[in-house]
């Protein structure tokens, strides 16, 4: 039975209102580079997104940590002295980091799972580095949930994707409640039960030591609510929730907000996340400081910034007042003259799964020389990171290859013939003698196309979906001239699970990832359906 406090409800009508722009403050600016006060940013190119710092997180003392994975390190910045030189903490050797989070004031890395970190002093007695804690891989519910809030989760079971194809279109309102475990700074460990339907959401809060809810936060909307995440409760007891709005009929009005509530459940501040098509992807792009500062990691080509969001008064209605700017018009690719053979969704998904699950032996010729050639204008080798050190071993997944489209059935034969596998040098000219697929090469092959159809040309063989929530397994999210993702399914917490070939997000192979649908739409991705698919 709920306590009296659990009946303190605040309904926020989510609608479009006249723009009122917040006075946000840039507190840290880091140019691209590998110096002490910079971050590694790999610039974009045709068919590939830029790669910048992957995560921002905040310690209990207010220290801001930025995952600078392209330089193999974490930057620790004193929030009170943000213009001072950051402390540089090198990551463990051979780490392949994707996310970083502070949980119970300890630092954790996500690299195909949770990796606890601790500081280790170098031989000089001054410099420190980060090392993985031995035997620390069994994460608790709170650590796993913190990572899951931004999509850092193991991929779901493959058989359920096939099962989902035969069902009716999956609608978010049919999803069951989701349990989140939040290690809050203000009230300790909190269990949140999130129920989100079409235009309503409710967050019930209880302490980990109790079975009784002590607070209920409610949201209502004119359009559809997507992902809802309780991010934290600050030291004064104010809850903060990440709310995604994705209208079914007007996806261009998509927005992502952080809503702040008073300790008794009344919403008193709203922070708009300024995501747009020029934003470089970060896995963890927002963090809450101990005293309630809402910090946004804004990465662009050439620089990254930590922005302290000022927020605004929600008034009577909570609104997306500043939706992302539409993708700049660009010269469209020519509609390819390709024979479109009708394909079932089962065929597409089974073929895609083959690219992710293929086990193959990394022969000496497939691996190439050691350490191998480097990439132009990049601080990395041509070899995909998941293959480094794997000569003579069996690995899983077809490697990424810039500009390539190796059919699945030809890959093993190419390895046996002595061809090199994988090439993540996206600033060099494509090489025809290397095995693998890039993002559009993978999607083209999964759709059963004999030719390589680029992301610019994909609109010519697909139809745009007016309702993003109508995506079905085998559809795609395409950003012309940049990247394409093959849609697998909606997760229980209303994110999207996709399969992609990426030199960055997948460590240089075909893999599955989970993203916020709203963040993809705001960054310019378009939901599309291949014309050759049935239904």
pLDDT tops 80 at residue 202 = yes
Q: What integer pLDDT is reported at residue 136 of this predicted model? A: 62
Lowest mean pLDDT among 119-133, 231-245, 424-438: 119-133
Lowest mean pLDDT among 23-37, 111-125, 393-407: 111-125
Q: Distance (Å, rounded) from C-alpha 447 to C-alpha 459?
A: 14
Mean pLDDT (whole number) for 296-306: 95
**Selection from 475, 496, 463 nearest residue 172 by Cα:** 496
Q: What are phi and psi of 70, to 5 degrees?
A: -70, -20
Residue reference for tokens 């690299």: 111
Burial of 72 (0-12, 13-18, 19+ CB in 10 A): middle
The string of pLDDT tens digits covering residues 44-96 is 988 999 999 999 999 999 999 999 999 999 999 998 887 888 999 999 887 88
Helix (H, G, I), strand (E, B) or coil at 249: coil
Q: What integer pLDDT is reported at residue 160 of this predicted model? A: 83
Q: What integer pLDDT is reported at residue 354 of this predicted model? A: 97
> DSSP secondary structure string, 91-107?
PPTT----EEEEETTEE
**Selection from 275, 284, 281 nearest residue 231 by Cα:** 284
Q: What integer pLDDT is reported at residue 170 of this predicted model? A: 45
Note whether 248 and 230 are within 8 A (CB): no
State what percent of residues in the chain have pLDDT above 70.
Answer: 89
Q: What integer pLDDT is reported at residue 402 of this predicted model? A: 94
Q: How confident is the model at residue 128 (pLDDT cuts 50, 70, 90)?
A: confident
The string of pLDDT tens digits covering residues 476-514 is 999 999 999 999 999 999 999 999 999 999 999 999 999
Helix (H, G, I), strand (E, B) or coil at 385: helix
Q: What integer pLDDT is reported at residue 113 of this predicted model? A: 92
Q: In what order do the strands lie in the sheet with 87-90?
A: 55-58, 64-68, 73-77, 87-90
Q: What integer pLDDT is reported at residue 132 of this predicted model? A: 87
Q: What integer pLDDT is reported at residue 108 of this predicted model? A: 96
Q: What integer pLDDT is reported at residue 339 of this predicted model? A: 66
Note whether 318 and 13 are within 8 A (CB): yes
Lowest mean pLDDT among 117-131, 275-289, 393-407: 117-131
Q: How confident is the model at residue 224 (pLDDT cuts 50, 70, 90)?
A: confident
Q: Distance (Å, rounded) from C-alpha 331 to C-alpha 481?
A: 10
State what percent of residues in the chain have pLDDT above 90.
Answer: 69
Residue 35: CB atoms within 10 A of its CB come to: 12
Q: What integer pLDDT is reported at residue 28 of this predicted model? A: 95
Q: What integer pLDDT is reported at residue 341 of this predicted model? A: 73
Mean pLDDT (whole number) for 17-32: 75
Task: Mention every residue, 6+ apart, whose C-beta is less than 8 A from residue 12.
Answer: 218, 219, 220, 259, 267, 314, 317, 318
What are the structure tokens assigned to 334, written together?
């020519």
Burial 6-23 (b: 16+ CB within 10 A, else e): bebebebebbbeeeeebe
**What is the helix (H) or strand (E) element at residue 220, kind and residue range?**
strand 215-221
The string of pLDDT tens digits covering residues 76-89 is 999 888 788 899 99
Alpha carbon separation from 102 to 58, 67, 181, 507, 514 (Å, rounded): 6, 12, 14, 23, 20
Mean pLDDT (whole number) for 213-241: 92
Whole-number average pLDDT of the chain: 88
Give the residue with greater pLDDT, 199 vs 511.
Answer: 511
Q: How confident is the model at residue 216 (pLDDT cuts 50, 70, 90)?
A: very high
Q: Distance (Å, rounded) from C-alpha 532 to C-alpha 35?
A: 49
Task: Mention every residue, 6+ apart, whose C-beta is less than 8 A from residue 167.
Answer: none
């Amino acid at each position: 039975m709920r306590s009296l406090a659990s009946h303190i409800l605040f309904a926020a009508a989510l609608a479009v209102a006249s723009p009122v722009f917040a006075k946000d403050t840039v507190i840290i600016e880091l140019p691209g580079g590998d110096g002490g006060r910079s971050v590694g940013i790999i610039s974009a190119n045709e068919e590939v997104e830029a790669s910048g710092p992957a995560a921002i997180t905040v310690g209990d003392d207010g220290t801001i940590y930025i995952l600078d994975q392209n330089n193999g390190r974490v930057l620790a910045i004193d929030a009170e002295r943000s213009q001072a030189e950051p402390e540089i903490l090198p990551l463990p050797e051979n780490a392949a980091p994707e996310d970083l989070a502070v949980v119970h004031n300890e630092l954790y890395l996500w690299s195909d799972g949770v990796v606890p970190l601790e500081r280790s002093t170098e031989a000089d007695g001054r410099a420190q580095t980060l090392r993985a804690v031995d035997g620390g891989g069994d994460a608790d519910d709170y650590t796993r949930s913190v990572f899951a809030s931004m999509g850092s989760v193991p991929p779901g079971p493959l058989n359920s994707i096939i099962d989902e194809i035969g069902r009716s279109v999956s609608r978010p309102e049919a999803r069951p409640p989701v349990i989140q475990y939040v290690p809050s700074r203000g009230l300790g460990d909190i269990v949140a039960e999130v129920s989100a339907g079409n235009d309503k959401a409710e967050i019930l809060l209880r302490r980990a030591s109790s079975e009784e809810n002590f607070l209920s936060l409610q949201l209502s909307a004119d359009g559809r609510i997507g992902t809802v995440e309780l991010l934290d409760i600050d030291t004064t007891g104010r809850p903060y929730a990440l709310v995604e709005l994705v209208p079914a009929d007007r996806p261009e009005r998509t927005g992502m907000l952080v809503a702040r509530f008073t300790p008794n459940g009344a919403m008193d501040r709203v922070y708009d996340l300024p995501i747009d098509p020029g934003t470089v992807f970060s896995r963890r792009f927002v963090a809450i400081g101990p005293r309630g500062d809402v910090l946004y990691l804004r990465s662009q080509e050439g620089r990254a910034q930590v922005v302290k969001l000022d927020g605004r008064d929600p008034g009577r209605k909570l609104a997306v007042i500043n939706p992302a700017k539409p993708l700049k018009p660009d010269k469209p690719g020519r509609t390819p003259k390709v024979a479109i053979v009708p394909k079932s969704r089962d065929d597409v998904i089974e073929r895609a799964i083959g690219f992710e699950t293929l086990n193959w032996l990394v022969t000496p010729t497939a691996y190439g020389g050691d350490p191998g050639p480097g990439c132009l204008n990049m601080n990395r080798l041509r070899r995909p990171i998941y293959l480094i050190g794997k000569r003579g071993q069996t690995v899983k997944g077809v490697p990424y290859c810039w500009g390539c489209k190796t059919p699945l059935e030809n890959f093993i034969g190419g390895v046996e013939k002595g061809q090199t596998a994988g090439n993540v040098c996206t600033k060099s000219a494509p090489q025809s003698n290397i095995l693998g697929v890039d993002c559009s090469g993978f999607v083209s092959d999964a759709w059963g196309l004999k030719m390589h159809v680029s992301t610019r040309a994909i609109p010519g063989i697909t139809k745009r979906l007016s309702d993003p929530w109508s995506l079905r397994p085998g559809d795609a999210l395409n950003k012309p001239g940049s990247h394409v993702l093959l849609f697998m399914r909606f997760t229980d917490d209303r994110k999207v699970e996709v399969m992609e070939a990426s030199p960055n997000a997948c460590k240089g192979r075909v893999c599955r990832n989970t993203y916020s649908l709203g963040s993809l739409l705001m960054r310019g991705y378009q939901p599309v359906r291949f014309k050759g698919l049935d239904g």
